[in-house]
Amino acid sequence: MAASNERAPEIGFDDFMKVDIRVGTIVEAAPFPEARKPAIRLLIDFGEAIGRKKSSAQITKHYKPEDLVGRQVIAVVNFPPRQIGPMMSEVLTLGIPDEAGEVVLLGPGQGVPNGGRMY
């Protein structure tokens, strides 16, 4: 996804509330060579209500799979699943581009319960 400096159109609060953004903990991370662009396959635990979900994340410039397990991340959990190579990605793990456009993961500044919803 290309980063944009353009501001998105204004939306109402009800539109914002339709996007379910939650915190989860990465419990498994592995290289994903079958993806079209370099990626890491993640399994993220969002707590009892949502469970564990798979995600493909293009985060290989700043992260190694072995360093990601135990890290909390933020993800959109209510987009429809998307086929990425041989894997069905169930959530969109969120990040912000650095100066070079490489993804830096978003996460809480301190530990919080898995499944907490962003507001």
Reported as a single tens digit per residue, the pLDDT across 36-73 is: 999 999 999 999 999 999 999 999 999 999 999 999 99
Rounded Cα–Cα distance for residues 113 and 94 (Å): 18
In a domain, 11, yes or no: no
In a domain, 78, yes or no: yes
Rounded Cα–Cα distance for residues 28 and 20 (Å): 22
Helix (H, G, I), strand (E, B) or coil at 19: coil
Mean pLDDT within 92-100: 97
In a domain, 16, yes or no: no
- Say what the pLDDT of residue 5 is: 78
Sign of CA dihedral 35, 37, 40, 43: negative
Domains contained in the chain, number = 1
For residues 42, 46, 52, 56, the Cα torsion angle rounded to the nearest 10 degrees is: -20
In a domain, 2, yes or no: no
- Say what the pLDDT of residue 3 is: 54
Containing domain of residue 101, as a range?
Answer: 25-105
In a domain, 34, yes or no: yes
In a domain, 17, yes or no: no
In a domain, 81, yes or no: yes
